[in-house]
Each structure stands twice: as C-alpha cells, then as structure tokens.
Structure 1
Amino acid sequence: MAWVNYKINNWLLITTENCLYKSGQNYIIEPRITKLLAFLAKHQGIVFTRDELIENVWDGAVVSEQVVTQSIFELRKTLKKMDEDHWIVTIPKRGYKLDIDVQQIYVDPNTGFKLEEFHSSHEHTNDTSSHASFPAGPMTRAFNETSKEAPSSTTTSSNNVKWNHWFFDICILTMLLITLVFISWSNEKITPPTTILNPRLINIELAQQSSTNQLYSIAKIIKNALFKSTNYISSFSEQPNAGKTLSLYVNQQHQLHIELFNNISKTVMLQQNLHLDSKNSYIIIDSFLNKLIQSLNYNHQQTQSHITLTNPTILYGYLELPSVINNDGHTNINYIKQISKLIKLSPKNSYLLAQRYLAYAIILTINNKVTSMPTLMNYGKVLVKSITPNQQLVSSEIYDALALNDLYQGNLTAAEHYLSLAALQSQQNTALRYILLGKLSELTHQRQQANEYYSMAMYLSPSQETLQLCQKLVFISEINIAEVTPPH
C-alpha cells in the first residue's frame, strides 16, 4: 500500500515521520496531530464537527470534545511558529476546516519514489510537468521527481539508483546522530535556572514533634500580625519560592524558639527564645511581634500593640485553645466548648465572641450542619450586643464576624460597611476576608470580581478548608471554584 503525504501551501506533511518540512525547516508534531492534519488535508475545504473528527481521527474512541479542542489548539500553536496559523478556520457552531491549497502525494513504499500527484482542491491532471517540483531535503528522497527520461530496462541500473539513495540517507542520518549527541553533551553543561524566591513570601513552619495548641496559637497570632502590620504574605502550607522561613519549636529548656531565616541571603534575620507563663505571655509575645515587624519593615519605628487580649489569664487560656481544623482536616467542636469557658470569664469580650462566631460558622459550613444555624444566630446576637455605640474596635476579626453575621441575614449594605472598616484596620486582607468579599460580590451580581476574590483566598490559603468555604459559606456559590484554584 502506497504512503500518502500532503503538500500544503509549500510545506510537506510527511505522515510516516510526523513532521512538516520546507527548505531546511523541519517541525516534528505528535502522531495524533499528524493524523488530524492529514484528515483535514485529505478533505480540504470540508467543515467537520468535533463528533465527526472523533469518529474519523480518533476512530470513534471514547474521548471528550475537549480533546479535539485541545488538539486543534496544539496544531494552531505549531502552525503559528511556521507563520501558517491561517490554515485552520473555525466555523462558529459548526466545526473546523482546512482552508488552503493541498496536494496529495502517493509514494511507493518499496522504492521511495512518487507514484502520482494531484490537487484535492483542483481538477486531477496526469501532466506532472505542470507542477513545480518541491525543494529537495535530507529526509525527502521519497518525493523527488524521477528522471523524465525513459526508465532503464536493466535491473542493474534500477538497483544502482536505489543503493545511491540508501547510501545518501545513511550519510545524512549519521550526521544527524552526531549532531544530536553533540547537542546533548552541550546541554549537560548548562546549569538549570534556580527558582526565583519571593522576598515577601514567608513560610511558617511548626516542628511536628513539639507541636502543641500553644505553639499553633502563637503561630496564628504571628500570621495575623503580619497581615495587619506588613505587606508580607505568610502561609502554613510550604511554598517552594518563599524568600523567608519562620520556624517555631520548643527547645530542650522548654522555651519557645522562634527563628526568621532569609532563604535568599542565607542569613538569620531574627532569633529569640520565649519563656511563657500565665503572667508574662502578653508582654513577651507583643514585644517579640514588634521586633519581628521591625526586622521585616526596616523603616518601622513605632511600637504598637499587636495583641487584642490584654488580660494575661484570658490570653494564656486563649493560647491553649485547640485548632478549629485538626491536622486530618476534620473540624474540632471542642474549640467552641473551650472558648465558651473563656467567654464566661469575660462575657463582654468582643474579640472572643467574634472568634467563637467565626469558628462556629466554619464548622457548620464544612460539616453541612444547617440544623445548628439557630446556635450560630444566637452567637451573632451576643456579639452584636457586646458592641457599644460608636465603639472603635481594635481588631479587624471583629468586623469580619459582624460582616458575616449580616451576610447571613441579607444585610448587604451593613456587611459591606463592616468589611471596609476591617480593611482600614489591616495592611492586607486575610483569606477569610477575601471569601466574605467574594460572597458579597456574588450577591450583588459581580461574578468576575467574586471570582478574583476567591482566587486570592485560595492563593493565600491553598487548602481544602478554604475551598469548601468558598463553595458553601452563607450560600452555595454558582462559581466553579475549582477553575480558579491556583496550583501548588
């Protein structure tokens, strides 16, 4: 059976070698892309739907229309490199066609000589002398015009021609092999580029062997302080391009060891051991936060309080709270029980009430506990009552909780007001605040804005918890969050 190849606008599609060739230029393409282009070339000018392409190019295999779309995209990408991206034309609501002049070329597989040539887009003619010969190349022996003289009647002459072609090909292939070996050897000497580190991205690492509730709570306080007072982004999930690493662990002297390491300059920026008890926890942590922020913001001069809980007993109890989400990804209702005990010691503490409200909303959302909504509403009422008129709140988390409470009740104007006040309290938004902004944007029919807010939330906190909150907090989102999730 003869080979079929195609001359497309002065390019030669060699189907047996999966390449497009012209005057020394050679583009290797995947076999499925070759098959797709060959099919369109064979039926030049005819429009095919995706289903028809699946039936003919993929032989009816079970593939989605997306596979066809992706293959067309890859084919156009190759054609663009060849300055031939106008070949493929999309017919809206119908399909695709090849809109360019095409010749089919049949080749004898035994001799490598062309048998015949005809235009698929013009009338067939046996007068091969009217066609311009295609430029010769190292891999195109199969397409060279035979001599216009009458063929020799002797077997010896025919064999000589065949052996001359084979000898020529062997020489060319040997040269190509030597070139490839040289290129491979040269590439081994090239040092791969190093990862570019982001100086404003900080990994927060907790030593697993010494991880405690207190250690995790302090890490969260540090993370929140960085968002409020700096332009640095901190994350508990490991970011390979982080310019800095903040590690926390308990040393052999039972002290909390905190170290800020610069991954770019390979130097320690800050190192401190903290000894905490129920009396000095506020002073020690707040002093450390000021040193940390001063080391990050080199022009930072002003000393300010970064901890809302100033009562030493309440703060020490807060540090002992378990995490809302366990390491296995499950919610921890024990957090609500423990923080409720602290609230009994300080019933009007708006910060504790806000933290309880936010934590319970997260737990209900992840667990799909709609039946527990009355409890959440009650927590919201208690929080609102704790806020006195014209009170200047010192924590953006309180504003976040008030905004979420109004979102649940449909008070969009009030929710937007509280979120704007929260933004004034902080240098940048947290992942949770971006989720609340996304929910507000979706409710006000700003889908594109909501999409960007959800993307930022997933960037700051790329976790299953964040994804579920984007999807289900307050209401089921109509936006496909999986499409906006950044890779990590």
Structure 2
Amino acid sequence: MQQPVFRVGEWLVTPADNQISRDGRQKTLEPRLIDMLFYFARHPDVVLSRDELIENVWKRNIVTNHVVTQSISELRKYLKDGDEQSPEYIITVPKRGYKLAAPVIWCREAEETPAALPQVAVIMHEPEDGDDEEDAPVYVPPRPTTPTAPKNGGKRFYQRSPFWVWLCFLTALSACVAFVGVATLSSRVPVATMPMLLNPRDIDIRIQGGNSCSNWMPQLSYVVGISELIADSLNTYSTFLVHDQTNYNYAGPSSSGKSLTIEFVNQRHYRAQQCFLSVRLVDNADSSIMLDKRYFLTKDNQRTILLDLLSNMSAVLKQPWPPQLETRLDKLLPKQGPALQQFYQAHQLLIQGDMASLTRASALLSELMKNSPDFLYIAAEKTLVDLLRNSYQPFDGEQLAQLQRDIQRLASVPELQDSPILQQIYTVEALGQGRIDEAHRAINKAIAMQMSWLNYVLLGKVYEMQGQNHLAADSYITAFNLRPGENTLHWIHNGIFQTPVSTVVPYLNNYAKQ
C-alpha cells in the first residue's frame, strides 16, 4: 500500500515521490531518509535507539551505528533547510537515541471515506532484497469525526441562560480570593534571594570623570601608569588580587570586595578651573570608605603623589611593602615630575600595542633618554618597544645590529638585573628567533618577579609556540582577568605574532565582539 502523505512541522512529506516541501520549495530525499522520517512520524515523542532504527528502517541489513548517525545528520540538514532559526526536528537523547520533536499531522482525502466513520490504515513496507519478514502493521490515528450540531436549536446549556456564566465567574473569583488568603496567612519562612558573594581579597581599580576638566588628558596616562603600578605591586607582594579596569568600560556590579576609584574632579582654584585627582578606596561589603584623598597635580609633585598613594594603600590594607619594591622604585623612577609624566605617556602607547602607537612611544622614549640620562628604565622600555616594532615590520641589518647592542648593554646594567622588563626583552627576542625553551625560562623569571598582565600574555605566546594551546588559553584568561579591556585583547591577538582568539581562547571572543 502506498505510504500516506503527512506533515512534520512546516514540511509536507510525500513518501511516494520521496519529496518534502514547504512554502513552494521542494526537496527530493533519498528513499532511506524518507523511510526514516516516516518511521519517526509513526512514533512521535518516542525515543528510538539506533538498533531499533536499523531493525525497522534498514530491515536488519548489516549497517553500523555510524551509518545511522550520518543519516540522522543528513535528515536534519534537509529539515533545517539552511535556516538557523528553524527549530530542531530531531533531537538527540544522550545514551538512548533520537526523538522526533515536531508535531505530526496525517493527511487524507475527505471524499474517500464517510465523515462519520473513523478509519484505521494499515501500511506495509515492501521487503527489501534478502529480507523475508514484513513490517508490522502501523496504526494510524483515526480521522476525527465531524461534530454533530447540538440539540435544542444549536445552543448549549450555558448559552441559553446568563445564570451559568455568572455562576462560573463567581466560583472562579471565590477560588482566587481563597488562594490569596491562604498565601497571605501562611506561616512559611520567606525564601531570601541569593546575594552576590564578594571576595574581600579582590580589588577593582577604575577611572571616572574627566570630561569637565580642561587639563585632564595629559594626566590620564599618568593615572593609568600609577594604577598599573599599584595593581602589579599588590598582585606580586600581597595576597590581594587586583583587577586593573582602567581600560574596561563596565558599569555593572562587581564581585570584588573593594573598589579603588580614581576620579578627575573639576574645582575652582585661584579663580581658574583646575583638575584634581580624587582617590577613594571603598569596602563594598558595607560601603565604608577606607581611603579618601585628593591630589592637585603639578610638574614637581607627581613622584611624591605616587609614593604617597602607595604608602596610604599599604597602611589601609595593612600590607607592608617589601624592601625590594622600594629599592626598585628608587632606582627606576625619575626624580623629575615632567619626565615621569612623559614616561607614562610612552608607556600607555606601549600598552596600546599597535604599530603606530609603538612608533610614537619609541620617539618619546628617545627624547626622554636625552633629557634624563639617569633614568635607567627608559632604555629598557625603548628596547622592548623596538623589539615589538620589529615583530610588526622587520628592521634592516643596521637597525637589528643596533638592537642587539642595546640588549647586550642592558644586560650589563646592575640595576636592571632583577627587573622583570629585562626578562620580557629576553622573552620577546627569543620568541622572534624561535628559541622557545629560552623564552620559557625568561618569562617564568619575569612572573616570579612581577605578576603582571603583560607577563601572562607573553607566557601564552610561549605556550602557543610549544603547541600547548590549552595552557596558552589559561595564561590569556589570567592576563585579561588582571587587566580586562581592548588593550589586553589587542596584545593577545597581535602581540609578537597573531593569535586566533576564536580558536585558542574562544572564551575571550565574546569580549572581542563587544
């Protein structure tokens, strides 16, 4: 007997022609796929195992489970028809099989049978070659009978009198009142919503304001620099975990126990509009203010403000700074305020990481080296910048020779021997020349000296070169956790060599799209 026509979801299935159609679009399927769809339609909302499909669709021919899986995949593609918004017709039930999730409607011609008599259709598959058994008869749901007209002139009992309508309405209203009363008088303990858990050892650093200040842009790089210094110092020498969110525009709630906000405030000072720095550390558990200070920046007090802020953070957090941090700051930070601000401007360009920013940073650092020869850290920063520029656009022979001389000179400076930037230089140089083991040793030393976002980005690059993408992903996520924002994403994607974020660390791809 010919298989009847039926509907599966939006598709009209014609088994006799091996076709499915919807909205004027027709598709011709293989007979095996039509038989499988027909068998699914005969068992709606039933989980069918692979063995059962082989038994009834392939008629016990010798096939493997892979054949069933492949057929299911092809049938899904035909039913989806390239529409990603289309619902799933066949769903997978783990460890059990497959189930048809779309509704099934069996189509019959009304003129073939009397309307009042339900019919039972028995459909038999023709046996395939070498198959002696016939399929079991399939019961097709009977055609619904045409409803007969009600008696009493076509009106039901509740249509003949409004009394029944009012009775049903009052009954429903009484039930609602009773339910409300029971709920109101219930003595159950109310269920509290789960509050956000705050980590008291986590600190967020954010920058706010500035648009109303006339001179805030030159000071922004200075604030970004001291924020990074605070974050690296606490992450390295304390048990606090600091998230430097100065490059991450996120206004939602934070799970950190404390927030350090640096805000540019516009106030009058000697009849002129001046920009102050308002620094506030708040304990988010009880909204108490742990630190609240204001600084008025001048050309001569920028180093003093930096050291004072570090000292106050140490006091309120009860976290004493180790001697090596104080020694490093004393040797590496310039004594003059303008030189420090210019250095932080160049450092912010390094953080941005693109070729244009690196070129500007190299020029600023070259000028600063002439004006502040005692500032040893400048030469190291410029060498790191030039190594990164070389990774974007290779230098010529003379430039490479000068770069090698700069690296050798830095290696002989005693003040830089225990500095993480020298290890960063070794790491970038070794990666550029394919010396992966040497790069791995250098970046591990840098992380032991300073827990910074840049070190973890470089560690991820080393792991990528070693073919350990899962460890590279962990390093990149750690770097983004320490300093979230587009700058860190740019470094992950473009630093030294390009990294396919969607392949190596797809978790960060959500932030990249934003």
Length-normalised TM-score, structure 2: 0.60
Q: Distance in 2 between matches of 1:463 and 1:120?
A: 65
Q: Distance in 2 between matches of 1:436 and 1:311?
A: 27
Give the secondary structure class of the aligned counterpart of 2:286.
coil
Identify the match of residue 436 of structure 1 among 449, 452, 458: 458
2:474 is aligned to 452
User: Structure 2 regions of 5+ residues with no counterpart?
Assistant: 11-35, 43-47, 58-67, 126-134, 160-167, 184-189, 236-240
2:370 is aligned to 344
Q: 456-465 or 413-422: which moved more?
A: 456-465
Matched, 1:218 2:223: yes
What does 1:49-60 correspond to in 2, within 5 Å?
49-55=72-78, 57-58=79-80, 60=81
In 1, are the aligned partners of 2:383 and 2:406 still within 8 Å (CA)? Answer: no
1:246 is aligned to 261
Q: Distance in 2 between matches of 1:302 and 1:326?
A: 26
2:349 is aligned to 324
Matched, 1:424 2:448: yes
2:186 is aligned to none
Distance 1:302 1:397, change over 3 A: closer
Distance 1:384 1:326, change over 3 A: closer
Distance 1:397 1:326, change over 3 A: closer
Matched, 1:228 2:261: no
Distance 1:160 1:294, change over 3 A: farther
Distance 1:344 1:412, change over 3 A: farther
Distance 1:414 1:258, change over 3 A: same
Answer with 1 or 2: which has the greater Rg: 2
1:355 is aligned to 381
Matched, 1:399 2:399: no
In 1, are the aligned partners of 2:492 and 2:499 still within 8 Å (CA)? Answer: yes
Shift of 1:423: 1.5
Distance 1:106 1:423, change over 3 A: same
Shift of 1:202: 0.5
Shift of 1:340: 1.0
Distance 1:274 1:338, change over 3 A: same
Identify the match of residue 508 of structure 2 among 481, 485, 488: 485
1:289 is aligned to 310
Distance 1:280 1:268, change over 3 A: same
In 2, are the aligned partners of 1:201 and 1:232 still within 8 Å (CA)? Answer: yes
Shift of 1:337: 1.5
Give the secondary structure class of the aligned counterpart of 1:457.
helix
Distance 1:438 1:301, change over 3 A: closer
- 1:145-189 per-residue CA deviation (whole Å, 9 max, x = no partner) reads 99xxxx99x95679999979x9xxxx9xx98xx99xx99xx9xx9
Distance 1:280 1:465, change over 3 A: closer
Q: Distance in 2 between matches of 1:389 and 1:329?
A: 29
In 1, are the aligned partners of 2:380 and 2:410 still within 8 Å (CA)? Answer: no
Shift of 1:436: 0.9
- 1:2-34 per-residue CA deviation (whole Å, 9 max, x = no partner) reads 99699xxxxxxxx79xxxxxxxxxxxxxxxxxx
RMSD: 5.3
- Number of residues paired by the alignment? 399
- 1:327-360 per-residue CA deviation (whole Å, 9 max, x = no partner) reads 9988433332221111123457542123223344
Letter in 2 for 1:444: Q
Shift of 1:250: 4.8
Shift of 1:115: 5.0
Give the secondary structure class of the aligned counterpart of 1:475.
coil
Shift of 1:398: 3.2
Q: Distance in 1 between matches of 2:379 and 2:282?
A: 35
Q: Distance in 1 between matches of 2:205 and 2:466?
A: 35
Letter in 1 for 2:261: L
- 1:347-391 per-residue CA deviation (whole Å, 9 max, x = no partner) reads 5754212322334455666xx434679747744541431222776
- 1:163-219 per-residue CA deviation (whole Å, 9 max, x = no partner) reads 79x9xxxx9xx98xx99xx99xx9xx9997665555514041142324323332233
Length-normalised TM-score, structure 1: 0.63
In 2, are the aligned partners of 1:402 and 1:415 still within 8 Å (CA)? Answer: yes
Shift of 1:408: 1.5
Matched, 1:268 2:289: yes
Distance 1:217 1:201, change over 3 A: same
